[in-house]
Chains A and B, each alone.
Chain A
Amino acid sequence: MGGLQKKKYERGSVTNYITRNKARKKLRLSLPDFRRLCILKGIYPHEPKHKKKVNKGSTAPRTFYLIKDIRFLLHEPIVGKFRDYKVFVRKLKKAYGKTEWSAVERLRENKPTYKLDHIIKERYPSFIDALRDIDDALCMCFLFSTFARTGKCHVQTIQLCRRLTVEWMNYVVAARALRKVFISIKGIYYQAEVMGQLITWLVPYQFSHDHPTDVDYRVMATFTELYTTLLGFINFRLYHSLNLLYPPKLDSKAECELKEENEEDYALNSECYLEKLSALSASLARMVSSAEEEEAQLDQFPDEMSTNLGKREQKEQEAQKKLFDGLKFFLNREVPRESLAFVIRCFGGEVSWDKSVCIGSTYEVTEETITHHIVDRPNASTQYINRYYIQPQWVYDCINAKIVLPVEDYFLGVTLPPHLSPFVEEKEGDYMPPEKVKIMALQRGEKPAQEQEDEEEEDEDEDEEEEEDDNDDEEEDEEEDEEESEEKNLKKMEKQRSQVKVTPGKMKVENPERLEQEEKAEEKRLAIMMMKKKEKYLYDKIMFGKKRKIREANKLTAKRKAHDDAEKANKKKTRK
């Protein structure tokens, strides 16, 4: 009916997408350059809703980019720089071939470089956007800062990464923004809250890497290039938000203290300052006097506390920030110094270490006021009376529990309680390890009761020892009692935790109730029969997932129970 008939794949969603090769041809870039551009500009492939339509009827696997994205790349000034670089390489090769060394030198001096400032600004129009995306940047920078300064990537990059990460850690210390720490088998996870954004990063353990061969370091280097720029700008802004000097300067007072004669033993002069900063033992210099600022903060307090709930949270946070206030730590040489110093300083503790471990130690082992001595070996040779000798896990567990935990479980040579992930938030029905339950009880201040119980348990154990042969039955009863009391505790906790409660089905005593229930169940079953096909599918899927969850939780509980039983049996055996 009039008008030309349009061809099949010339309208609709096809027009929104472009394949990678076509995009590359359009931009006239080589594949590595295209890749670099995509990384820097944050362009990623899109999965079309109807792949076959976009793929012109073919089902071959292709990656599609939005055509708008590619058009947007066309105007990127960095593309020009890429081309310049290509020309530069060609010229350099030619000069080398002709052995024109002066030309080589001249070319090298004029090597084209580019800056990524405008890209950062473009990708993250507001500061919060940038903060939101900083997780990967931090992980990458922390990784690169641990690389050896040989091969793999430029030394400057490694140094820059190190500098930026040290600046970041110093900021977190200054802002007391750290919330959670988790020692995993991969490394140490930290979570900080900066301007309302939760930022999580992973720091590898301090070992040299055996570099894998199947990893393309060019890709990583390109990412790092972007991330260092991003992190630098963010650091600048964050430092200024706290009225700190950027690049960071140590407090003049602290600097005087840290001045020592044998400074050069630790590091070269050029790196000495960075080393001092990375020691994390001194506070940073501020642009205005700190007293003024604190006053201003005090003024703000009453305004913020408007809602009751907010108030409580605020209080909790404040308490957490001052978790280690007044405590003095000393790190033995075998514990990870950087991590512990960072964590302890984040929560207001004072920390020092042996002078030979690192620059920046503030007091000696012999200091009388030290409250906690962190040791990671089975026993310490010389022990001072007025301090606790504890294992490093105590520090991390305290932070995650937001309270100062009793130190008894963490003494030297003691089997440590499991280290739990602070990132897991159990919903109802999920499995919760008993240690978590215990910690939650402590958090609510049920400490004495629990302790008593523990003691009782111990007493009972002792009793058991004595009367074991005579009355096994009683013992079992007692155990059951214990379990019941634990269950009660559990219930209590759950009640307190959430108002919504699931009452376990009452005993099958009252017939009418049960009948009613059955009726309801049948009603439900009948209603489910009448569901539409689509909804039925979805419903089945959801129910399947729920059931699987329950199954897993049950499995974990069973495993735990088996383990505990085995433990108990072992204990008895050894006692006998």
Chain B
Amino acid sequence: MEESSGNMRSSEPTAAMKKVREKTAKKRSKEEEEEEEEQIFNFKDKPAGKEEEDEDLSDSEESVFSGLEDSGSDSEEDEKESDDNDDDDDDDVTAVESKQPKQTEEEEEKEEVVGGVTEREEEEKKEDEYEHDSSDEEDIRNTVGNIPMEWYKDFPHIGYNLDGKKIFKPIRNKDELDDFLDKMENPDYWRTVHDKQTGSDIVLSDEQVELVNRLQKGQFGDVNFNEYQPSVEFFSSDVMIHPVTNRPADKRSFIPSLIEKEKVSKLVHAIKMGWIKPRRVEDDTRGRFYDLWAGEDSSILGRHKMHLPAPKIPLPGHQESYNPPPEYLFTEEELALWEQQDASDRKLPFVPVKFSSLRQVPAFSRFIHERFERCLDLYLCPRQRKMRVNVNPEDLIPKLPKPKDLQPFPTTQSLVYRGHSGLVRSISVSPSGQWLASGSDDGSVRFWEVCSSRCMKTVQVGGAVKSVAWNPNPSVCLLAVALESVVLILSPSLADRQVVQSSERLLSGQPEADTSDAAGPVIWSDTEGEELNQGIRLKIQHPKAVHQVAWHAKGDYLASVMPDHSSHLQVLIHQLSRRRSQNPFRKNKGLVQCVSFHPVRPYFFVATQRSVRIYNLVKQEMTKKLQANSKWISSMAVHPGGDHVICGSYDCRLSWFDLDLSTKPYKMLRHHKKAVRGAAYHRSYPLFASASDDGSVIVCHGTVYNDLMQNPLIVPVKVLRGHVITHDLGVLDVTFHPTQPWVFSSGADATIRLFT
């Protein structure tokens, strides 16, 4: 084998045909012969390749110049070769012998060619521009090659034949006339072709003309060639006993393959390592069931602490029936509404339909949708445990003592006091409980007898009365009236003489010398003439409009309120006996809404817009500030005990403060629908009332205990209605009778009502 490979290397440049031949020769492996051959190769080392090429070329040329040269030789050779191969196995020697002479013949041929080739090579070397030229289609009649023939036009010859002799041009050159004559006279002119290479005219034979015709028609050149001869199928479905080729089996087919061995060992290794798993045994365990809960244990239950089982699908009602009762079917409006509604807003996800028999019921088109939505709910919907409120609504209502047990309190409207022509802003009851004073927007103050509802006296004060307040001291009979920027002190003389005299005495007290210094803008003045006759005794002129007046319990001090955002002069305290006024505050702490004195102790309550401040008048400091938790306080009342305060506000609330408890309201009462205008405590009974723009007065029971640990008990006991709402205003003021459980209310409908 090595040797052969060595030979192959040496004969590299030889062509394929040669190789095959060599191989067959070498298989016989006789050294001498090999040597011989090698010699031969060495001998014509270089040209050998060329020769071979030539040989091949001649093959190809055959087709071009058909019939010009004997083409039989090569095919014969091939045949011989194949014969050789066949015989190879039988006896080597004879084959070698037969080979020998053939080679010599070949050599001869080759030598003939050599000369011409070399010449041509030289030419090519001279003229580099023809490098691309191949000598494939060389003419052997004229050896000049494929050159423009004009080059020879000045020479007498036209080239050289194979033997190197000059080929001479035909003696007479044809001119056009000759050509024409020839054309007219020569019957073979149409088949005459001028050969440029040899310069001679060739008359084509009949066969050649025929060939040309055939080629022009696109047929095969060979007449005898049958295009449609039956094809022989070598590789068909029929199994033949004999092989198609007689080629003996290769040696490798007898030797175990190395590559396969490698592959197998790889697989073995992979199986050993577990990379390839053996074919799985087919087991259909999916449909095989067993007693899964054979040994029940609750050990896994621990994880389920947070588990929320999915709620079941709600069960269908009558509407879903295929034949529902007629009342469950949609009317046209209901159907229209259903179609308009968004799918999520609909009460029913389907339209109830009635079918007269079961066979008419069609498939439900959204069935798969609904199942799918349920699936989505199960795995996508966040779950949350919601405690369902399962309470009886009656249990929610607080258990309160019955109002019946909390009597007495006013229950019915018993008297109506008519006479005013404007809305009645303020009312006040005399400490004796016999008289009622009211101030109205019509500019009058009226005095009524409580029991008979008779108007005893009317005082025209000449301006809308904002506030009236009866002096709480029973030993005097005085009324403070606030209108515009004046506070009037009236002595209505509706009491017995002693009382009137004592009040006169109070009014005629000595004015102090330095009043003007204490409160500059306030002017005290006595009245005269007509006003005096009407009972107006004193006029206290304020710098600004006065909104409210409030008496101290002893009846000597009087507080007036002049609400103003920008000034610290909002509250003034007047001492009646000394006709002295003073401004207790140096700073503006917000818009003052109302003020009140503590019934027993020297405290002063000032309600600003959102809070109530409590000042100690003796120490001259603020002791407490109550946060009302409402937007705008409208009114305030202090419990006769002094420890509790109620505040009404324009945002419908009434807040109860327990001063001992906190500065925050102990209770917020949202009883009214509209703004609370007034609030009042009863002086002796545990009652308080609130008046509102919704036209109602709500009376509540509010027991206050001495025990500090016990919170006040607040129970609404009665809603009193009667006032007519005019101009969006209902009840404006409310006040209690000092001794009886009666309540007075004044409203925007110009009436005052008494509820007993």
Binding site for B on A (CB under 8 A): 35, 38-39, 43-47, 49, 63-64, 66, 68-69, 72, 106, 109-110, 113, 115, 117, 120-122, 124-127, 130, 132-133, 135-136, 139-140, 143, 156, 160, 163, 182-187, 189, 200, 204-205, 207, 209-212, 214-216, 219-220, 223, 229, 232-233, 235-237, 240, 246, 334-336, 376-377, 391-393, 415-416, 418-421, 423-424, 433-435, 519, 522-533, 535, 538-539, 542-543, 546, 556-557, 559-560, 563
Contact across chains for B391 and A220 when beta carbons are under 8 A apart: no
Contact across chains for A419 and B383 when beta carbons are under 8 A apart: no
- B349 to chain A: closest residue by CB: A186
A-B contact pairs, 13 of them (CB 8 A): A43-B379, A44-B378, A44-B382, A45-B382, A64-B382, A189-B316, A232-B289, A233-B293, A236-B289, A376-B358, A421-B321, A424-B315, A528-B397
Selected from B285, B327, B359, B364, the residue in CB contact (under 8 A) with A560 is B327
Q: Please report the C-alpha to C-alpha distance between residue A106 and residue B267 in the assembled complex, in whole angstroms.
A: 13
B183 within 8 A of A: no
Number of chain B interface residues as a range? 35 or more
Contact across chains for A535 and B396 when beta carbons are under 8 A apart: yes
Contact across chains for B398 and A72 when beta carbons are under 8 A apart: no
- A167 to chain B: closest residue by CB: B289
Q: Please report the C-alpha to C-alpha distance between residue A69 and residue B358 in the assembled complex, in whole angstroms.
A: 48
Selected from B357, B368, B375, B400, the residue in CB contact (under 8 A) with A209 is B368
Chain B residues near A542: list those with CB within 8 A: 389, 391, 393, 396
Q: Please report the C-alpha to C-alpha distance between residue A524 and residue B400 in the assembled complex, in whole angstroms.
A: 10
Contact across chains for B287 and A232 when beta carbons are under 8 A apart: yes
- A556 to chain B: closest residue by CB: B327
B153 within 8 A of A: no
Q: Please report the C-alpha to C-alpha distance between residue A335 and residue B287 in the assembled complex, in whole angstroms.
A: 33
10 closest A-B pairs by CB: A207-B363, A423-B315, A47-B384, A45-B382, A560-B327, A47-B382, A232-B289, A184-B320, A418-B325, A559-B327
Chain A residues near B670: list those with CB within 8 A: 533
- A189 to chain B: closest residue by CB: B316
Selected from B298, B353, B364, the residue in CB contact (under 8 A) with A204 is B364
- B313 to chain A: closest residue by CB: A135
Q: Please report the C-alpha to C-alpha distance between residue A131 and residue B323 in the assembled complex, in whole angstroms.
A: 31
Q: A44-B310, A64-B382, A376-B357 are in contact. List 17 more A-B contacts (CB 8 A).
A: A35-B379, A121-B292, A125-B300, A125-B301, A136-B374, A140-B371, A160-B287, A163-B287, A182-B320, A184-B320, A185-B353, A185-B364, A207-B363, A376-B358, A526-B403, A527-B398, A531-B397
Q: Please report the C-alpha to C-alpha distance between residue A45 and residue B403 in the assembled complex, in whole angstroms.
A: 53
A157: min CB distance to chain B, Å: 10
Selected from B292, B306, B313, B368, the residue in CB contact (under 8 A) with A68 is B306
Contact across chains for B320 and A186 when beta carbons are under 8 A apart: yes
Selected interface stretch from B77-85, B208-216, B576-584, B709-717: B709-717
Selected from A109, A163, A237, A334, the residue in CB contact (under 8 A) with B279 is A109
Chain B residues near A246: list those with CB within 8 A: 289
Q: Please report the C-alpha to C-alpha distance between residue A46 and residue B307 in the assembled complex, in whole angstroms.
A: 10
A24: min CB distance to chain B, Å: 14
Selected from A416, A532, A539, the residue in CB contact (under 8 A) with B357 is A416
B422 within 8 A of A: no
Q: Please report the C-alpha to C-alpha distance between residue A519 and residue B279 in the assembled complex, in whole angstroms.
A: 90
Q: Please report the C-alpha to C-alpha distance between residue A133 and residue B279 in the assembled complex, in whole angstroms.
A: 38
Binding site for A on B (CB under 8 A): 276-277, 279-280, 285-287, 289-293, 296-301, 303-304, 306, 308-310, 312-313, 315-318, 320-328, 331, 350, 352-353, 355-359, 361-365, 367-372, 374-376, 378-384, 389, 391, 393, 396-400, 402-404, 669-671, 714-719
Chain B residues near A64: list those with CB within 8 A: 382
Contact across chains for B358 and A392 when beta carbons are under 8 A apart: yes
B463: min CB distance to chain A, Å: 39
Contact across chains for A127 and B293 when beta carbons are under 8 A apart: yes
Chain B residues near A556: list those with CB within 8 A: 327-328
Contact across chains for A336 and B358 when beta carbons are under 8 A apart: yes
Contact across chains for B359 and A334 when beta carbons are under 8 A apart: yes
- A38 to chain B: closest residue by CB: B379
B517: min CB distance to chain A, Å: 53
Chain A residues near B350: list those with CB within 8 A: 185-186
Scoring A130, A135, A205, A522 by chain B CB atoms within 10 A of each residue's CB, the highest score goes to A205
A449: min CB distance to chain B, Å: 23
User: Binding site of B, secondary structure by majority: helix, strand, loop or mixed?
Assistant: loop
Selected from A49, A163, A214, A421, the residue in CB contact (under 8 A) with B320 is A421
Contact across chains for A125 and B297 when beta carbons are under 8 A apart: yes
Selected from A63, A182, A204, A546, the residue in CB contact (under 8 A) with B321 is A182
Contact across chains for A185 and B322 when beta carbons are under 8 A apart: yes
Chain B residues near A220: list those with CB within 8 A: 371-372, 375
Contact across chains for A539 and B292 when beta carbons are under 8 A apart: no
Contact across chains for A423 and B317 when beta carbons are under 8 A apart: yes
Q: Please report the C-alpha to C-alpha distance between residue A237 and residue B293 in the assembled complex, in whole angstroms.
A: 8
Contact across chains for B361 and A205 when beta carbons are under 8 A apart: yes
B380: min CB distance to chain A, Å: 7
- A233 to chain B: closest residue by CB: B292
Contact across chains for A115 and B289 when beta carbons are under 8 A apart: no
Contact across chains for B317 and A530 when beta carbons are under 8 A apart: no
- A125 to chain B: closest residue by CB: B300
Scoring B293, B352, B361, B671 by chain A CB atoms within 10 A of each residue's CB, the highest score goes to B293
Selected from B313, B367, B396, B715, the residue in CB contact (under 8 A) with A531 is B396
Q: Given A140-B371, A184-B322, A223-B375, are A63 and B382 neighbors across the interface (CB < 8 Å)?
A: yes
Selected from B322, B323, B391, B671, the residue in CB contact (under 8 A) with A538 is B391
A112: min CB distance to chain B, Å: 10
Contact across chains for A216 and B372 when beta carbons are under 8 A apart: yes
Scoring A125, A140, A215 by chain B CB atoms within 10 A of each residue's CB, the highest score goes to A125
Contact across chains for B321 and A418 when beta carbons are under 8 A apart: yes
B523: min CB distance to chain A, Å: 49
B283: min CB distance to chain A, Å: 9
Contact across chains for A204 and B378 when beta carbons are under 8 A apart: no
Q: Please report the C-alpha to C-alpha distance between residue A72 and residue B358 in the assembled complex, in whole angstroms.
A: 50
Q: Please report the C-alpha to C-alpha distance between residue A416 and residue B361 in the assembled complex, in whole angstroms.
A: 14
Contact across chains for B403 and A523 when beta carbons are under 8 A apart: yes
Contact across chains for B315 and A215 when beta carbons are under 8 A apart: no
Scoring B301, B359, B400 by chain A CB atoms within 10 A of each residue's CB, the highest score goes to B359
Chain A residues near B376: list those with CB within 8 A: 219
Selected from B285, B296, B356, the residue in CB contact (under 8 A) with A115 is B285
A522: min CB distance to chain B, Å: 8
Q: Please report the C-alpha to C-alpha distance between residue A135 and residue B293 in the assembled complex, in whole angstroms.
A: 19
A574: min CB distance to chain B, Å: 18
Selected from A63, A235, A421, A519, the residue in CB contact (under 8 A) with B289 is A235
- A418 to chain B: closest residue by CB: B325
Contact across chains for A237 and B296 when beta carbons are under 8 A apart: no
Q: Please report the C-alpha to C-alpha distance between residue A317 and residue B209 in the assembled complex, in whole angstroms.
A: 116
Chain B residues near A519: list those with CB within 8 A: 404
Chain B residues near A72: list those with CB within 8 A: 303
Q: Please report the C-alpha to C-alpha distance between residue A63 and residue B308 in the assembled complex, in whole angstroms.
A: 16
B721: min CB distance to chain A, Å: 12
- B399 to chain A: closest residue by CB: A527
Chain A residues near B323: list those with CB within 8 A: 183, 393, 416, 418-419
Contact across chains for A530 and B279 when beta carbons are under 8 A apart: no
Selected from A392, A418, A423, the residue in CB contact (under 8 A) with B326 is A418
A32: min CB distance to chain B, Å: 12
B674: min CB distance to chain A, Å: 15
A375: min CB distance to chain B, Å: 10
Contact across chains for B327 and A421 when beta carbons are under 8 A apart: no
Q: Given A419-B323, A563-B326, are A526 and B292 neighbors across the interface (CB < 8 Å)?
A: no
Q: Please report the C-alpha to C-alpha distance between residue A528 and residue B669 in the assembled complex, in whole angstroms.
A: 12
Chain B residues near A39: list those with CB within 8 A: 375, 378-379
Contact across chains for B716 and A529 when beta carbons are under 8 A apart: yes
Contact across chains for B277 and A110 when beta carbons are under 8 A apart: yes
Contact across chains for A186 and B382 when beta carbons are under 8 A apart: no
- B672 to chain A: closest residue by CB: A529
Q: Please report the C-alpha to C-alpha distance between residue A233 and residue B288 in the assembled complex, in whole angstroms.
A: 9
Q: Please report the C-alpha to C-alpha distance between residue A240 and residue B313 in the assembled complex, in whole angstroms.
A: 29
Q: Given A47-B382, A423-B317, are A126 and B325 neighbors across the interface (CB < 8 Å)?
A: no
Contact across chains for B292 and A120 when beta carbons are under 8 A apart: yes
